Chain A
């Protein structure tokens, strides 16, 4: 019986290759998209799920701050509701030079933490163990790939490396590379070694030095609420808090940190975009829906082709459930075949997507559970696609169909029209949202920053160069390819230093940039009121330049020339006001900014190069660096690169979104083509009768396309407000938005119209060319 069903289904498809192709192609493309999207979604939702008793593992935050003081740990140690706590520093190990024998490399992202970290977060040890890893001072744990970079395939345990040409660290353990964690690093060292490394004796006792992440494991049976109450009660009056006098701590469950973007001040925390995950899920759903609509539309439309078969089988003795089972099995088989094709496409496209999204997307076909999921998913889909057509097909009465059958029932035709309108609604919505998304991304990319960062490179200076900043600068300036050199605390894109002042007893928080006059000159700071800083730092003690946003935010009556008394910095006098320029990501509104001069805080070197002799200039820079600082590997980047990387990820996600939109539209077009083919076939007889009575090609074309036109028009009316609502909602998330223009919807409607006309034109001509006598005989 099954063989018989398979054979009939298979041969039916062979006899109707167009419909078979549309169904198979639509489903395979849809499944490919859904698998790829699901891989991304799963990747994103799997962050920090590896930690044991995830509920008891939390990150400590307060207000908008994710960073705390070094001394907070000792206060937390008093609390019985906290079983373990660990500080994590990301700054001191951000970039270190490492020497091992002849090898000199630049090591990035080493965290300084407490040994308790291993009782809080889970790391897989390849060599060494948790107990001894961070016990002795100047111990270091490396990840597998960092270990391989330094030691190759030699056993690293017990080996000693020289860090920053000064400190000797002993490798005590190797752990697997970090993946799927908001806290990513290449190695671990001991937090309490920081004072010795940085000559800050009082470091561990500091209360106002907010730079460190805190991870806690709550005592067994302690609720978050209980722990929070304990912490806040215990710490009242003990530490220094910025905004109000009272501590206001919160706990973030470890696996929620990745998607929680409510913390403004934090370091080294990777975040995912939950909205994007949702958008992709919706896109996956839409794509699948379109393919399902195609399948149902085409299968029910062509059901008459199989009416005879149904009738014969019934006459011979098949029961209705047996027929339903037959048609559903066919749908499931097509779905499984589509899944097979989809998996091949996934295998081929995954590397590209992986590179594009820079996400480690993996699919393991041989894993029984994923295999089961894929096959189960395809079967379920087949069931959904096949259910209605199977019901419809098996409902044919043999009495009706065996004497020659005409499907003139308007009910089913209406149902198909509704589905087709739905496809058009989705297409028009997708096209218009895609255009607007593209416009917005383009707008952001091309938005002027308000400053000049062209041909500007930067490097974090080494301790050697730090001791001879002026000499290094002068040496660099000797090359004609280097047109300007300046030091600063931060470059555009990474200006994040936060401070606050009190205005009318209320705390006003702003971004603070300590820098040098040369740097401001280099970026062409647009000062519009008052003056620039003079080149003598000493003369400018207490002088500040603020931006327009700050001038408005602080609410001083006469901002220019205003003098403000502050606790930490004494009297500050506004000497200039600059226009609002983008000192960070252009997708964010420009916030209040305060600029002052500080040589000692300016440890980032910026230099402008002449693009015509770029190679020579860069080679000279590297040479000079090595001569000043042989123990620290030279490293520099261009400011533009660093700046664009901030919205690059968003841009890539947009591109992927656009790609999937185009795929959806393609699937919809495919379905329309199938429907047009079917419609043309149905109208064959009518067209011939009209031709016999004198109808020309134009009138036949008009008759056929009018129907499609009606559907597009209805869809257009429905889609416009839907699309407007969606994009408007999306645009609200941006401080600087493009205006939604009406023509976008017009274009979307027009494209849908063209697609629909294109799909039917071919069919119309085919039918119109038929010899009437032949068609009527055929009937």
Chain B
């Protein structure tokens, strides 16, 4: 599903040049649950942004679903994203002005789904995430755990093949964190590929493989359990 070859990302300001990723190569198969770990500043998030088509690499190639997307335009990337990728962030990133229902509905609107179908689908997913009763609330009226469940609901609503999670439990207490990890695990069991950046060894336990980064390079890959 994902294949990267010598991916590099260099950030330049007027005076400083920082290599965030240095010739990173790896492959991820459909249905895998992969955790990316490493200390702060090692390039985890940069890698996730490239994998999520939010950013282009400085050099190297990136094959997503068999297609080289490393030089795609913003328009092409936007289109790939909305059809194939769901995102979960550490700080949830819900739109404060929209209700829970409207936040979750958003990807379907951009996919051009008719409103009736959207309603059925959103209700279904909200119930699945056990926040159906909060549909009309605004994000700021919810607890962190609830907000993250909304974010997960939004990430899966369009049934993407890939979910990218950036420290999904980073802002949650352990009980809420576990809830969210269970949700992600369930999605993976049902066939969704998941790539998760995390600091937490406990969260990484949910994955089948851990990619460790240090100073922009992969230092090792552990396969912990067989692919389901």
Q: Which residues of A are interface residues toward B (Cβ below 8 A)?
A: 1, 4, 7-8, 11-12, 15, 308-309, 311-320, 322, 397-399, 402-404
Contact = CB atoms under 8 A, between A and B. Distances in A.
B: contact size bracket: 20 to 34
B102 interface: yes
Contacts of B54: 315, 397-399
A317 B52 CA distance: 11
B5 interface: no
B87 interface: yes
A467 to B, nearest CB: 87
Interface stretch (B28-36, B57-65, B93-101, B173-181): B93-101
Interface stretch (B105-113, B127-135, B141-149, B213-221): B105-113
Given A402-B89, A403-B45, A404-B91, A316 B97 contact: no
Contact of A316 (B49, B96, B110): B110
Contacts of A404: 91
B74 interface: yes
B109 A11 contact: no
30 contacts: A4-B98, A4-B105, A4-B109, A7-B102, A8-B95, A8-B97, A11-B98, A15-B96, A15-B97, A308-B95, A312-B93, A315-B52, A315-B54, A315-B93, A316-B81, A316-B87, A316-B110, A316-B154, A317-B78, A317-B79, A317-B110, A317-B111, A318-B78, A318-B110, A319-B74, A319-B79, A320-B74, A322-B110, A398-B54, A399-B54
A402 B81 CA distance: 16
Interface in B69-124: 74-75, 78-79, 81-83, 87, 89, 91, 93-98, 102, 105-107, 109-111
Contacts of A7: 97-98, 102
B195 to A, nearest CB: 15
A322 B106 CA distance: 13
Given A316-B87, A316-B110, A398-B54, 5 more contacts: A4-B109, A312-B94, A312-B95, A313-B95, A317-B107
Determine chain A's interface SS by DSSP, over half rule: helix
Contacts of B93: 308, 311-312, 315, 402
B23 interface: no
B89 A4 contact: no
A25 B6 CA distance: 56
Contacts of B98: 4, 7-8, 11
A34 B74 CA distance: 42
Nearest to B151: A312
A615 B74 CA distance: 86
Contacts of B154: 316
Nearest to B84: A317
Nearest to B48: A399
Contact of A399 (B49, B78, B95): B49
Top 10 A-B pairs ranked by shortest CB distance? A317-B82, A11-B97, A317-B110, A316-B107, A8-B97, A309-B95, A399-B49, A399-B54, A399-B55, A312-B93
Contacts of A312: 93-95, 106
A172 B6 CA distance: 101
Nearest to B103: A312
Nearest to B154: A316
Nearest to A315: B87
A103 to B, nearest CB: 71
A311 B54 CA distance: 10
Nearest to A1: B109
Contacts of B74: 319-320
Nearest to B53: A315
Nearest to A14: B97
Contacts of B55: 397, 399
Contacts of B52: 315
B75 A4 contact: no
Contacts of A314: 78
Nearest to A5: B109
A183 to B, nearest CB: 61
Nearest to B155: A316
A11 B97 CA distance: 5
A308 B107 CA distance: 16
A300 to B, nearest CB: 19
Contacts of B110: 313, 316-318, 322
A309 B98 CA distance: 10
Interface string B145-161: 00000000010000000
Contacts of A12: 97
Nearest to B111: A317
A15 B140 CA distance: 12
Contacts of A402: 89, 91, 93
Contacts of B79: 317, 319
Contacts of A308: 93, 95-96
